[in-house]
Structure 1
Amino acid sequence: MAKIPPQESPMESMKIRRRREIEDRDQPERGREEAGETSWTVGSQVTLPYLLSGIGMVLAGFELDIIQHWPVFKAMSEIFILAPALVGLKGNLEMTLASRLSTAANTGKLDSAADCWLLVTSNLAVIQLQSTVVGLISAVVAITLGSISGGNIELNRAILLCASSASTAFIASLILNITYLAPAVCGLLITVTPVWLLIARRNSSSREVLQTGWQPVLVAMLISSCGGLILDKMITDPRFQGMAVFTPVINGVGGNLVAIQASRISTYLHQSSIPGELPQGMQELCPNVCQIFLRSGPNSNSARVLLFLVVPGHLLFLFTIHVARGGHASITRIFTVFYLIASLLQVFLLLCGAELLVRLAWKLRLDPDNFSIPYLTAFGDLLGISFLAICFYAKLVTEG
């Protein structure tokens, strides 16, 4: 009687197919591409977008410094708690989308026009759905934290804050005057939510985001809200006057740079290995600092370049703020030294965290494109606001 061979499980079959895909790729050609990616190549690709986004964050800082004195901001301090969560949410959703599309492009999933259209539209629908839901939840968290820190919950203010948060997250760049239309806006956003859900379920990758992509975004929102609580306490203290203009800059720079690194590591893992198994040269789950920044390889090369860009970029942004006379704080030499040390330490810690978190997500068979960036940018917001508060306190102590 012939012995029937055991059938392979779906997981084992997927692993075998994935290994064959990796083995069938043109390894010599990919090796030449990685070998040809020098520090100059990485720097030339990153520098211009980094500087342009930095100027945008400087302008955002100017705007925050102006509107912090508006009556609504003085009457509703919860807005300062909500601001980092909303800004971080917008950045998280956009950067996770960019990371997913980058991985899809590098693994051949965008070669077909039909596949490209389906993938893009489904992922955009996921972002609309997540922004609406998480924007509403972040407002509830801001109201709760505000009440815990000494405020009172009023129904009208709660409805206005929830509607403002959900609509701002839904329409990122549109400023709405919805004081009298708050219930209608909430109802409209809730009504269109099922539409985004139906569109998002059309693609397998976006369906995966719907199932596993909520936890990182929600936890990141909570972490950013903690940073917002610190910002609320600092920005209303006259001793820390001028902090508002620097907050979007230090938070945005750290988040942008670590998102680039996390996306590059994630794409490298998708190209080189299968979920659950780290490729050769990345076997350590928790690499040391020398392995992250000093060894040879494309990921270490980009980490060095990104860390190098911190000080020149921030010097340019500080100079822009000084020339434009933005903010209410004087940029002295002592403050500049403290600020540069804080920003450099922030990005250093985030780049180290990116290596650890992306490897951990891959080892746990989670997609790093969806899992790692929200956590990293949220911690970047928390570190940025905390370090900035320390800089102002140190300036206050040293300069009297």
Structure 2
Amino acid sequence: MVVTQLNLELRFQGRKLRGFRCELRRAPRGVLPEALSTTASQVALPVLLSGLGVMTAGLLMNTVQHWPVFVEVKDLLTLVPPLVGLKGNLEMTLASRLSTAANTGQIDDPQEKRRVISSNLALVQVQATVVGLLAATAALLLGAVSREELDVAKVALLCASSALTAFLAAFALGLLMVCIVMGARKLGVNPDNIATPIAASLGDLITLSILALVSSFLYQHRDAWYLAPLACAGLVALTPLWVAVAQQNPPVVNILKFGWLPIVLAMVISSVGGLILSMTAQKQQFQGMAIFTPVMCGVGGNLVAIQTSRVSTFLHIWSTPGVLPLQMKRFCPNPCSTFCTSDTNATSARVLLSLAVPGHLVFFYIIRLAEGPALTLSATFVALYLLAGLLQVAVLLFLAEVTVRLAWRQALDPDNHCIPYLTGLGDLLGTGLLALCFFLDWLLRSREEAAPGPP
């Protein structure tokens, strides 16, 4: 924040009065209200790249779901949405925090920059280790209904695969986020517009690739029973080191103490979406579910993360925690104010909503070309799919406005508390709507086939 200080010298009855000072605040570079064309130009390419990333992840998942480890350990499919969703719980949250710090000038000082970056990266490693183990536990509990017996070796493989995947993906994506935010700051580009979608562009693909490779490695070496428990023990043993590094930064310490609820609840919500995926992916009437799930969930999560990051930065600059600015005084906005006003946040919401259908059409077309005749989908499904994608993004953007205002009114940082909830809801909503699209399409085709032909 750039502050200009004016020292005023006043005289009263011939005596000089000192101590009067006023501050003129000027918005930092990159946070002035953007034109619609500027927002669209900065957002469109990262969103397209992120969509290509999640589309590639979908094609990859359609392949790895037939690998022996995924066939033998069925709970691995349940793990996919919560682990892939970690990009929303951890990396997108990290990107949003760093974007806010960059836009508000908190990391302009080199020494402060090192402290903020190292503490945030250490925090992400702690969160990834804990949430990775919790995701495996949730997958086991959700799959317990259909499991006849509990195989200890499979439980260890599941836990180790989940924890290692979360740890390695968080480390790689965390470093990437730091480079992107620092580079955007130097180039004069708003990091809020590009950091979170780029995190998503590689997040799904990297996470799913690591999960497939790690689980396959442990499955191939399942005779070495000590590997999986040793991996889990090693990650847990490293946790005190990451905690010590994270404690360099007081705001990060606060997140370390009180920031677990959004991440854990988001993981649980995503796990329910994972259960839906696990129950439907290999059924004939849901052919293509594994391909389109990362795309549907990823596009919605990316767009809502951008909006949440932008609104959070807006509040950090123009207000103080606990006090909403004049144009956001209403505690619960109506959908019209979210999308139809001339406000900066409504403008960006319209831009993001307008990208949903064209983006899905592009990704749908590329997937159709990549799969060829192996993927047969009707025009009815395409219409249902586009409608579901538009509905998902509209609901998430509205909820972003509501949750950010709620968090700010409670003096909570939206960067840490809102994105995990919204991306988790995006996973659940996207998976549920996609399954509904496949079911309705199958139901309509069944009725057409059962209908008697013309005499």
Return the alpha-carbon distance in structure 2 between the equivalents of residues 219 and 194 of structure 1.
24
- Matches of residues 127-206 of structure 1 in structure 2 within 5 Å? 127-172=124-169, 173=206, 174=210, 175-176=213-214, 177-178=217-218, 179=222, 180=224, 181-206=227-252
Return the alpha-carbon distance in structure 1 between the equivalents of residues 415 and 372 of structure 2.
36
Equivalent of 2:435 in 377, 380, 389: 389
Equivalent of 2:101 in 100, 104, 110: 104
- Alignment of 1:363 with 2:409, yes or no, is yes
Q: Say what the alpha-carbon RMSD is for the aligned residues.
A: 1.8
- Alignment of 1:248 with 2:245, yes or no, is no
Number of equivalenced pairs? 376
Q: Please report how far the alpha carbon of residue 399 of structure 1 lies from its aligned counterpart in structure 2 after TM superposition.
A: 2.1
Q: Please report how far the alpha carbon of residue 243 of structure 1 lies from its aligned counterpart in structure 2 after TM superposition.
A: 0.9
What residue is the counterpart of 2:190 in the other structure?
Answer: none
The percent of aligned pairs where both chains have the same amino acid is 51
What residue is the counterpart of 2:81 in the other structure?
Answer: 84
Give the secondary structure class of the aligned counterpart of 2:49.
helix
Q: Please report how far the alpha carbon of residue 155 of structure 1 lies from its aligned counterpart in structure 2 after TM superposition.
A: 1.1
What residue is the counterpart of 1:213 in the other structure?
Answer: 259
Q: Please report how far the alpha carbon of residue 380 of structure 1 lies from its aligned counterpart in structure 2 after TM superposition.
A: 0.2
CA contact (8 A) 2:338 2:401 kept: yes
Return the alpha-carbon distance in structure 2 between the equivalents of residues 31 and 217 of structure 1.
29
- Alignment of 1:287 with 2:320, yes or no, is no
Deviations 1:134-162 (A, max 9, x none): 10111011011101244432211111100
> 327-336 or 37-46, which moves further after superposition?
327-336
Give the secondary structure class of the aligned counterpart of 1:309.
helix
Equivalent of 2:393 in 330, 342, 347: 347
CA contact (8 A) 1:62 1:326 kept: no
Give the secondary structure class of the aligned counterpart of 2:387.
helix
Q: Please report how far the alpha carbon of residue 23 of structure 1 lies from its aligned counterpart in structure 2 after TM superposition.
A: 6.1
Letter in 2 for 1:276: G
The structure that has the greater radius of gyration is: 2
Equivalent of 2:309 in 249, 257, 263: 263
Q: Please report how far the alpha carbon of residue 324 of structure 1 lies from its aligned counterpart in structure 2 after TM superposition.
A: 1.1
Return the alpha-carbon distance in structure 1 between the equivalents of residues 68 and 373 of structure 2.
18
Q: Structure 2-normalised TM-score?
A: 0.80
CA contact (8 A) 1:307 1:347 kept: yes
Q: Please report how far the alpha carbon of residue 208 of structure 1 lies from its aligned counterpart in structure 2 after TM superposition.
A: 1.7
- Alignment of 1:296 with 2:293, yes or no, is no
CA contact (8 A) 2:353 2:390 kept: yes
Q: 1:150 to 1:279 in 2, by over 3 A?
A: same
Q: Please report how far the alpha carbon of residue 315 of structure 1 lies from its aligned counterpart in structure 2 after TM superposition.
A: 0.4
Q: Please report how far the alpha carbon of residue 393 of structure 1 lies from its aligned counterpart in structure 2 after TM superposition.
A: 0.8
Return the alpha-carbon distance in structure 2 between the equivalents of residues 286 and 237 of structure 1.
41
CA contact (8 A) 1:357 1:372 kept: yes
Deviations 1:311-354 (A, max 9, x none): 11000000100111269532332111000000000000000000
Deviations 1:232-265 (A, max 9, x none): 1111322212210001000000000000000111
Return the alpha-carbon distance in structure 1 between the equivalents of residues 416 and 373 of structure 2.
36
Give the secondary structure class of the aligned counterpart of 1:325.
helix
What residue is the counterpart of 2:47 in the other structure?
Answer: 50
CA contact (8 A) 1:143 1:153 kept: no
Return the alpha-carbon distance in structure 2 between the equivalents of residues 123 and 250 of structure 1.
29
Give the secondary structure class of the aligned counterpart of 2:66.
coil
Q: Please report how far the alpha carbon of residue 89 of structure 1 lies from its aligned counterpart in structure 2 after TM superposition.
A: 1.4
Q: 1:79 to 1:355 in 2, by over 3 A?
A: same
Return the alpha-carbon distance in structure 2 between the equivalents of residues 32 and 193 of structure 1.
36
Letter in 2 for 1:340: L
What residue is the counterpart of 1:17 in the other structure?
Answer: none
- For structure 1, the residue ranges without an aligned partner over 5 or more in a row are 1-21
Letter in 2 for 1:141: A
CA contact (8 A) 1:243 1:329 kept: no
What residue is the counterpart of 1:26 in the other structure?
Answer: 26
Return the alpha-carbon distance in structure 2 between the equivalents of residues 104 and 151 of structure 1.
51
Letter in 2 for 1:26: R
Return the alpha-carbon distance in structure 1 between the equivalents of residues 45 and 110 of structure 2.
29
Return the alpha-carbon distance in structure 2 between the equivalents of residues 32 and 270 of structure 1.
11
Return the alpha-carbon distance in structure 2 between the equivalents of residues 358 and 224 of structure 1.
20
What residue is the counterpart of 2:378 in the other structure?
Answer: 332
Point out the structure with the larger strand share.
2
Letter in 1 for 2:314: Y
Equivalent of 2:276 in 224, 230, 235: 230
> 328-337 or 70-79, which moves further after superposition?
328-337
Deviations 1:277-318 (A, max 9, x none): 101100011000111001112100100000000011000000
Return the alpha-carbon distance in structure 1 between the equivalents of residues 165 and 148 of structure 2.
23
Return the alpha-carbon distance in structure 1 between the equivalents of residues 239 and 309 of structure 2.
28
What residue is the counterpart of 1:14 in the other structure?
Answer: none
CA contact (8 A) 1:242 1:327 kept: no
> 135-144 or 320-329, which moves further after superposition?
320-329
Q: 1:372 to 1:151 in 2, by over 3 A?
A: farther
Return the alpha-carbon distance in structure 2 between the equivalents of residues 234 and 32 of structure 1.
44
CA contact (8 A) 1:314 1:340 kept: yes
Give the secondary structure class of the aligned counterpart of 2:163.
helix
Letter in 2 for 1:156: A
> 175-184 or 97-106, which moves further after superposition?
175-184
Letter in 1 for 2:255: V
Q: Structure 1-normalised TM-score?
A: 0.91
Return the alpha-carbon distance in structure 2 between the equivalents of residues 227 and 327 of structure 1.
28
Q: 1:32 to 1:90 in 2, by over 3 A?
A: closer
Return the alpha-carbon distance in structure 1 between the equivalents of residues 263 and 31 of structure 2.
37
